[in-house]
Structure 1
């Protein structure tokens, strides 16, 4: 079975979100589908089982040369545990591998730490080696490692709302460090989603995190702000710049645009080069205005302190 990660609009606690969903290309009940278990109720669908992600990584890294470690290498093993060895060509090749470090059992849910932020003593993901909050966690009974749900279910391809024009492919990259364009953390990533066209990367957990479709942030704007995927040409009303890779929200009523990372900036600040507090304003007077710090001309159409 192959799958592609997509985002669908759903409500969480009465608020709209874009929620990651695995879009299956084959029905789970077919003879060539993934192995599934009953979730405990006749009214609930069968739940698919997944490979140990550490096995996928070990399988990916078999027989690597030093030259291979310097390249982005696309994953070719499905996260889904196959029904039979012949049922899934990619999964079957992983199950048939007799090398050390290839687990042959599906992972099981780890319920004790779901929906809470684990400490380093309680949890470290055996795939991404990060201690970050996830909605669910899994464990492998064979290698005794714990994993984020996102690392377990990571499909070979994701269509992400913040990067709508190119799909993100699941890669391994062992040689160097990359910066995740979602959380801005500079770290090594043995499993990462990457766009070769734009040279951007995401952690698996960041790539599957739910995105608020509407944000109510009164400190940044009076009206609710709506997520706008095609942000590549929009100038932020706050910082007056274009950031092609920064999630962007808009207010159609006010023709207002703001980057996600510009939300929450204080309206009043103090700086060492001025005796008084200075306030943010979204409306500047006409004329040639220059920044007192960098001495560059200020665009009157956008805000400033």
Structure 2
């Protein structure tokens, strides 16, 4: 006879609540592991300090685990709690990992109760707590709420979501709400809007569209709305982790003196910008020959209005000078701060960054929150984007990776169309619409593809060009050029910026505008550098590298 057969012969039984050992029936009661009581039947006796004595109550005991359970606690039939029997189970990691109590929404552990018919889990503590919730905040509802332990289909008055679940109700008011929605924050700040939004059980009369998912809002149910302008958001959209920063702002006064202006006007056409120590002078009319690059966005100035320093070579676009010092963006739930990068030539791991949205290496200014850094071009793409490649407005509302309709690369985040299947990654959305290149004396315009037959050729690399893909073209000469051949890998790297190699050799980004293209000194590449910009050694003459792929094995660019 094996050990388990012997124990069964001695009266041991295996109860079906996932317990690993055999248990023994006993008339000596102790503290129940399910209800935490010593006495389960009225009239039972208890010795000093609750120690076990003989009594009429019958239970089961597991000696190896020192576990005692009342017989009546193994299965509970209480229609006031649930219409089906609730069976006692013991937590098992393989089966129950992540299982949450219906009432308190906490993950269960140890012993808990379960209804297989309704898939209802209740922890042993909540099973004996009253179903009436008395501590409901007055701003949620003025009366107590009762938790219904029957799974029903209902629409929550607080969030407007129709779902199958276990609601909290107030019968006197015909009020019904998810238990989780009782704890909805009252006043919050989301990354889709500049003002605070507050929760109400109706956003007001009229038609409303959610500022996050861009779908309609039923004004008969609760939502978040702005008291300053006409703006509303679904309750569940507003509290998404990628939308809300997690701060409850009720009773928190707004900072009306927050300084967001990037500069101070000190005279006619003169400003003091927060990023620079000298005064800046406005120049209205630029020139196509002005090839200086803006310190903020790193793009050429050309004939755009710009501010220039009266004492040094600092220069920025007028539009870049007006960028606010703080802003909100769909990519980060917290407010972003405009940060100044070191000037070109400074050897520092902070002299460049990897943009969180487009993935490009950048040396201009960035909007930042902790480790999240966004290039100023991508920061401008926010809320609604009207792009020349698509007839409908684009929005950033998806948290999933999607295939960009332009470059056919999987990307996140993307700007998406609500009316058709069109998605645009930030890398393509921020491509300059007009550029200049040494191969053509006219401006080059970005073309979003053509339905044409025949072959197209790139004037730079002399390779074949697919006319259905995006490319640059000259409207005067009719030339066509690959996007990458025109822009290269240095689109957001300002010329003159320096980087330090492992062997302390210093490389500077310079224009590749000589009469001949230099040879790359990389031991693998050894080809002519065709990019519009190249890396030139400041220590060794005529030592060039094409791009990042040629130096990635030998040089470091800081902690990206």
What TM-score do the two structures reach when normalised by structure 1?
0.48
Which has the greater radius of gyration?
Answer: 2
| TM-score, normalised with respect to structure 2 | 0.28
Higher relative contact order (CA 8 A, sep 6+): 1
